[in-house]
Amino acid sequence: MSNENQNNNGGMNGKDFVIGTLIGGIIGASVALLYAPKAGKDLRQDINTGADQVRERASEWKNTAYDKGNELYERAQESSKNLGEKIKQKKDDIQERVEYLRSENKEQGQEIAEDVAEAIEEAADEMERQEADMNFKNSQN
């Protein structure tokens, strides 16, 4: 719903709002300083102080975004690794079962082979779904 709401609002999202607020704040502060009854030297010093504060805050936001990005990347890597291990384990279990049953009865082995193929397809579909979910979640951040 929030994604549809964003699209209906001309594509405005949280980043656009923050950037607009930051730019508006800078312009507002600059105009206020220009119209304040201060000496030129004091005004320039106030502007430099304000610019330094904005630069520092932007650096903090950049570092926060970088840390969050790394955290999401590591989570995605771990989730992908865990999913791969689960699929491999499931495949190994199925192969063992197939071999056992194949040795018991060759006719049943054909049915089991079909079951294995189906299970592998389901595992691949699940992996693709989880990867798509992960990509969707990462695009939302």
Q: DSSP letter at 141?
A: -
* pLDDT tens sequence across 73-119: 888 888 888 888 888 888 888 888 877 776 776 666 677 778 888 88
| pLDDT recorded at residue 75 | 87
Coil, strand, or helix at residue 75?
helix
- Whole-angstrom distance, CA of residue 123 vs CA of residue 115: 12
Q: Which residue would you say has higher pLDDT here, 34 or 45?
A: 45
* pLDDT tens sequence across 52-71: 888 888 888 888 888 888 88
* pLDDT tens sequence across 13-35: 777 888 888 888 888 877 776 77
Name the percent of the chain in helix, strand, coil, to the closest 5.
90, 0, 10
This model's pTM is above 0.85? no
The contacts of residue 115 (CB under 8 Å, 6+ apart) are: 94
Neighbours of 112 (CB within 10 A): 19
**CA angle in degrees (0–180, nearest 5) for 134-136-140:** 115
